[in-house]
Chains A and B, each alone.
Chain A
Amino acid sequence: MTALDEIKIGGLGASRRRVEDARFVRGRGNYTDDIVLPGMLHMEILRSPLAHARITSIDTSRAWEIPGVRLVLTGEMMAQRNLAWMPTLSYDTQAVLATDKVRFQGQEVCVVVADDPYIAKDGCDAIVVEYEPLTPVVNPLQSRAADAPLIRDDKEGQVDNTCYRWEVGDRAATERAFAQADVVSRMQLHYPRSHPSPIECCGSIADFDPATQKLTVYMTTQAPHIIRAAVALVAELPEHMIRIVSPDIGGGFGNKVPVYPGYVASILASILLGRPVKWIEDRTGNLASTGFGRDMYLAAEMALRSDGRILAVRMHADTDQGAFFADAQPTKFKIGLLHSAFACYDIGTGHITAQGHYTNKAPGGVAYRCSFRVTEAMFFQERMMQAAAVDLGMDQAEFRRINLLRDDAFPARTPFGFLVDSGQYGKCLRLGLDAIGYEQFLVDQAEARTRGRRLGIGISTMTEPLGAGNSREYDILGIKMFDSAELRVHMTGKAILRVGAKSQGQGHETTWGQIVAHELGIPAADVIVEEGDTDTAPFGMGTYASRSTPVAGAAISMVARKVRAKARKLAAHLLECSEEDVEWELGRLYVRGAPHRGATIQECAMAAYSNMPDGMEPGLENVAYYDPPNLTWPFACYIATVEVDPETGVWDVLRFVAVDDCGVRINPMVVEGQIMGGLTEAYAMSSMQFQTYDAEGNMVGSNYMDYLLPTAWETPGFELHEVVTPCPHHPIGAKGVGECAAVGGPAAFVNAVHDALSDTGVRNIDMPLLPDRVWQALQDGRDVSGMPPVRSD
């Protein structure tokens, strides 16, 4: 008999159509807001209009009088139950409902629960809160001023607005390297505050059953098991009486990792009322109060030899954390993975310091489509590389080429402690340069410049640590960052696979089946994938940081191999030979030396229920937990070409080439979708997207009129290429990919615009490169730094 064609059964490498799309494109998804429970009530949040103010009184009496209002909760009422504050994932505290002060515009002050959402909203409108305004602090500069008001006066021992200090690297060796440098290159920039802005906002339905005492919460979370653990550990509810269900999720991008006050309030409301309580956040609530990304100020120096070799890097980061240090990140480092910067280059040595600052802005920094702070790290790295090439008078591609790690350098320990394990960096760079036609572009660019046209080319090369994570560097609440898979093969050879990760649109239901197909030869279409219900899925740490394929994907391989080991025993029984004589080919076990004598995986499955050998436990199922030995290290080379209109500052993308090496691709189409999505976000961040605050702490960017998502109209086309360097420690050689393009992409666009301005003396325009900022830089020949100001001139 002929061997199975792996592509035909939807195995590794098959661009199988996404099975979940059948329901998504028909409007048949099942999102949190689609769920309706009998007797369900609706909750609405009253938010602070001010950035910093003392609450002098709250009068809820008029709200209680509205027919249909069932409950009004204030911070005081939460405090009576010891729930006014909750712990954050960064070991700080965050107000659930404000008791003493409001510390950012949009902060949760009260909630109203009513028969329908209109009444709940009317109830919020009827609450009278009196505030005594305090001076708002809207950036780190104000935050560390000597006369700055103390934002966190709730914290014992907190004397200023510093929320952490951290450092890594070798200060002394770095100083020595700088003393020997021929050239020292400097770069200062701001990575603006952005927001993941999933199309589905956050929400929950808490359903506490007074009869059974069981709490079920349907909610928009990327990590349902962590939520269960947090509720069990923090609220001290018995873990077996808590069920967290994460239904279909309309995008997460890190925004749906943290615990938000709305979830907590809806749970308490349901416990108090004994009825299901639904909370569905509106767009402004999502943009103004939930986890933002970035908002980091970076200053650094690079020590260089005149031949172009990097000797050392010194960096300092100031982060604007908002009112509460609520970074949703699982690394053991205060600054996340900022020190993964320059991991793809041989930089000799380095030293990084960082300081976090409280401000009167929304809290909860999240890893917006990134492993924490990797986006800032790689953006900075690639802006610094371009500046250094300019300072050296070297070609930017050549400068990268000579400093990239060579293929024989792996595994390589970075100066900041990471172990980079694999890659073909030079090959990726060359492929990208050839695809864009680098040398010809330089000729065209010079020719165009003589006619007053400004063309530019920008390169961004980077590796990043994906797949949180090995327990040396990661944990959440002390729990190690493994993931899990449980595979049950039914008697007819069909299967159900339950996984501890949780898709938010990444296509797990498609991809996971392909891993089973690859390992067992069961067609992917014969595998149902389930995620997100803590009562049924094995314990896993959820989906973020591009960890699903590196960690949960590995667990799926491992569980399938366990199942295969049992199938082998069953095959030996069926084939009447010893187990040692059974050979495996895709989907079939056969007798060594007699390939015609075999049993398919489906026949083995039937035997597991009907014809197992004496003494063997029936059934064909298993569970695997996978604790990764290292992070995965994908590599990317992104190259953009642009033309800048000097009269308006408008810039258009001419071409964009992406070369991604994310190891073995399970479903190439899904991978390409991830890359295109990430590049679209990269384009957004570089060109139009930011959240800023005026001097009073009013947020600009709390709705889609001001917070811009790119549409198909302006998003450029992307040309995708691939290189495959298998991950040495992953069972099928795959690496993370979800965030690569969003992490590495921005620098390509931004470097390209700066390249178009290379003769003007402009070294840095901070993102987003809005037309007025580019024009201003061209007018003055000077840098444009910081957030786009909220002017009133």
Chain B
Amino acid sequence: MYPSRFRYEAPHSLDEARSLLAQYGDEAKVLAGGQSLVPLLKLRFAAPELLVDINGVPGLGHHRVEAGVLRVGALCRHVDLERSSVLARHPLVASAAPLIADPIVRNRGTLVGSLCHADPQGDWASVLLALGGHVVAEGPHGRRPIPMAEFTLGPFQNALRPGEIAVEAVAPAPRGQVSGRYLKLERRVGDFATVGVAVALETDGDRVVRAGIALTGVGPHTIAATAAEQALVGRPLTAATVEEAAQLAAEASRPKGDHRGSVAYKRHVVATFVRRGLARTDLEAVA
């Protein structure tokens, strides 16, 4: 791999990292797991002046549940979530983790890095969107939460301001009975999703209290299937409500036909996966 020339800094504190980012602005890139950034460097699609390697910054590798709230630090690797024992109340996260890329990428890549990369085919953005989560940014003016729904601005564009660094992703505490599942159709393990569907449900008895449905790879960015979610809230899960949600989610998708499949196919798989995601709440992987 022969990237363009760049400067490399490995700060030991968040303050130091922030000041480097403030100094270099758009010319700086944060290196966490590097699983998206390094290929871009290799192809010379990205040629930043400075890489700020945050792997030496303490206090970012955590993931923990506090009062039901899941907090995932900027250096928490996918594999940490795959092997986690604290995700009983966050089944969607537990179900998505083993479907991220391949085992080698999972050893190194990070959830927060994936959110920041804002690839429309990134799986974690759908998961956090379905959960109603947010990203915590730290910048020159302190900390601020950015709701996931506002974090991704477009393909490979996030809402971080110059000098800001994403330090944590947060999923709120669920209420009632929890279920959730991530379904992903890929041509091969490690492939980007042809279609990915994140489903998160909170139920009280047989009523749905909260529904989150988000779609991966079927639009210019991750899509929240809001109408499908609303069709479920306050109602029981029946064949009819499930079917309605499936159709509304398919309508919300904006796929492009490519060598992974036609528009009609991808829409059909969205509906199929919403149906399966609502019908089956175990963690079994699909496809």
Residues of chain A touching chain B, judged by Cβ–Cβ distance below 8 Å, are: 44, 117-118, 120-122, 125, 647-650, 688, 692, 700, 705-706, 708-711, 713-714, 770-772, 775-776, 788-793
B257 at interface by CB-CB < 8 Å:
yes
Q: Are B259 and A700 in contact (CB under 8 A)?
A: yes
Complex alpha-carbon distance, A251 and B26, angstroms:
42
Task: Tell me the B231-287 residues at the A interface (CB within 8 Å).
Answer: 256-263, 265, 268-269, 272, 287
Q: Are A714 and B259 in contact (CB under 8 A)?
A: no
Question: What is the minimal beta-carbon distance from B203 to any residue of chain A, in angstroms?
Answer: 25
Q: Are A713 and B2 in contact (CB under 8 A)?
A: no
13 contacts between A and B (CB under 8 A): A117-B2, A120-B2, A121-B44, A650-B185, A688-B187, A688-B188, A700-B259, A711-B190, A771-B287, A772-B194, A776-B265, A790-B258, A790-B259
Residues of chain B touching chain A, judged by Cβ–Cβ distance below 8 Å, are: 2, 4-5, 44, 102, 185, 187-192, 194, 256-263, 265, 268-269, 272, 287
**Closest Cβ neighbor of B266 among chain A residues:** A772
Question: What is the minimal beta-carbon distance from A646 to any residue of chain B, in angstroms?
Answer: 10
Partner of B259, one of A647, A692, A711: A692
Partner of B102, one of A649, A700, A713: A713
**Closest Cβ neighbor of B190 among chain A residues:** A711
Complex alpha-carbon distance, A709 and B102, angstroms:
13
Complex alpha-carbon distance, A692 and B259, angstroms:
9
Q: Enumerate chain A residues within 8 angstroms of B187, measured Cβ to Cβ.
A: 688, 708, 770-771
Complex alpha-carbon distance, A793 and B257, angstroms:
5
Contacts A648-B185, A708-B188; A118 near B2 (Cβ below 8 A): yes
Complex alpha-carbon distance, A125 and B185, angstroms:
38
- 6 other A-B residue contacts (CB within 8 Å) besides A648-B287, A688-B188: A121-B44, A710-B188, A770-B260, A772-B265, A791-B258, A793-B262
Q: Are B185 and A776 in contact (CB under 8 A)?
A: no
Q: Are A792 and B257 in contact (CB under 8 A)?
A: yes
Partner of B265, one of A117, A692, A705, A775: A775
Complex alpha-carbon distance, A713 and B188, angstroms:
8
Q: Enumerate chain A residues within 8 angstroms of B287, measured Cβ to Cβ.
A: 648, 650, 771
Q: Enumerate chain B residues within 8 angstroms of A775, measured Cβ to Cβ.
A: 261, 265, 268
Partner of B257, one of A121, A122, A791: A791
Q: Are A791 and B5 in contact (CB under 8 A)?
A: no
Contacts A648-B287, A708-B188; A772 near B260 (Cβ below 8 A): yes
**Closest Cβ neighbor of B275 among chain A residues:** A647
Complex alpha-carbon distance, A44 and B102, angstroms:
31
Q: Enumerate chain A residues within 8 angstroms of B5, measured Cβ to Cβ.
A: 118
Complex alpha-carbon distance, A583 and B43, angstroms:
67
Total A-B contacts with CB atoms under 8 angstroms apart: 73
Complex alpha-carbon distance, A217 and B268, angstroms:
55
Complex alpha-carbon distance, A771 and B256, angstroms:
16
Q: Are B188 and A793 in contact (CB under 8 A)?
A: no
Partner of A706, one of B2, B189, B194, B259: B259
Question: What is the minimal beta-carbon distance from A789 to any residue of chain B, in angstroms?
Answer: 7
Complex alpha-carbon distance, A442 and B256, angstroms:
40
Complex alpha-carbon distance, A44 and B44, angstroms:
15
Complex alpha-carbon distance, A174 and B98, angstroms:
57
Q: Are B262 and A772 in contact (CB under 8 A)?
A: yes
Question: What is the minimal beta-carbon distance from B165 to any residue of chain A, in angstroms?
Answer: 28
Q: Are A772 and B189 in contact (CB under 8 A)?
A: no
Q: Enumerate chain A residues within 8 angstroms of B265, measured Cβ to Cβ.
A: 649, 772, 775-776
Q: Enumerate chain B residues within 8 angstroms of A713, measured Cβ to Cβ.
A: 102, 188-189
Q: Enumerate chain B residues within 8 angstroms of A117, measured Cβ to Cβ.
A: 2
Q: Enumerate chain B residues within 8 angstroms of A789, measured Cβ to Cβ.
A: 259
Q: Enumerate chain B residues within 8 angstroms of A688, measured Cβ to Cβ.
A: 187-188
**Closest Cβ neighbor of B188 among chain A residues:** A708
Q: Enumerate chain A residues within 8 angstroms of B4, measured Cβ to Cβ.
A: 122
Q: Are A776 and B191 in contact (CB under 8 A)?
A: no
Question: What is the minimal beta-carbon distance from B93 to any residue of chain A, in angstroms?
Answer: 21
Q: Are B257 and A711 in contact (CB under 8 A)?
A: no
Q: Are A714 and B256 in contact (CB under 8 A)?
A: no
Q: Enumerate chain A residues within 8 angstroms of B44, measured Cβ to Cβ.
A: 121, 125
Q: Are A647 and B272 in contact (CB under 8 A)?
A: yes
Question: What is the minimal beta-carbon distance from B100 to any residue of chain A, in angstroms?
Answer: 13
**Closest Cβ neighbor of A771 among chain B residues:** B185
Q: Enumerate chain B residues within 8 angstroms of A772, measured Cβ to Cβ.
A: 194, 260-262, 265
